[in-house]
């Protein structure tokens, strides 16, 4: 998980809250962890819809990591990592 990435644009507050939820998920277990990851994923995806969010490699990486950690389809997580890599 990337920590303290530089955020730019109007998505800053969403990304800060998403990073906070992700950090809380990493330090939690069980249902609390799943809920924090769910919140982080929703916030990252909302930020992704912004003007520059779709080109933000950190957002794509974090989405891929959360999907992988939650046991989502490896293809879906792989797609997110692929976007982060380009």
User: Which distant-in-sequence residues (6+ apart) come within 8 Å of 39 by Cβ?
Assistant: 18, 21, 25
User: What pLDDT does residue 11 have?
Assistant: 63
d(CA 56, CA 15): 11
State residue 13's pLDDT score: 84
In the chain, the N- to C-terminal Cα span, in Å, equals 18
Give the per-residue pLDDT at 6.
Answer: 52
C-alpha to C-alpha distances, 67 to 10, 32, 37, nearest whole angstrom:
25, 16, 9
Can you give the pLDDT at residue 57? 82
pTM for this predicted structure: 0.77
Classify the C-alpha dihedral 20-83-69-73 as positive or negative.
Answer: positive
Q: What pLDDT, on the 0 to 100 scale, is given for residue 78?
A: 87
> Residue 37's pLDDT is what?
95
Flag residues of the chain having pLDDT under 50: 4, 7
| Nearest Cα residue to 84 out of 47, 65, 57 | 57
């Amino acid at each position: 998980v990337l920590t303290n990435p530089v955020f730019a644009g109007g998505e800053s507050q969403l990304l800060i809250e998403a990073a906070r939820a992700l950090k809380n998920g990493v330090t939690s277990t069980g249902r609390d962890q799943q809920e924090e990851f769910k919140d982080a994923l929703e916030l990252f995806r909302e930020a992704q819809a912004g003007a520059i969010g779709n080109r933000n490699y950190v957002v794509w990486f974090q989405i891929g990591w959360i999907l992988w950690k939650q046991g989502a389809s490896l293809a879906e997580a792989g797609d997110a990592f692929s976007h982060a890599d380009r």
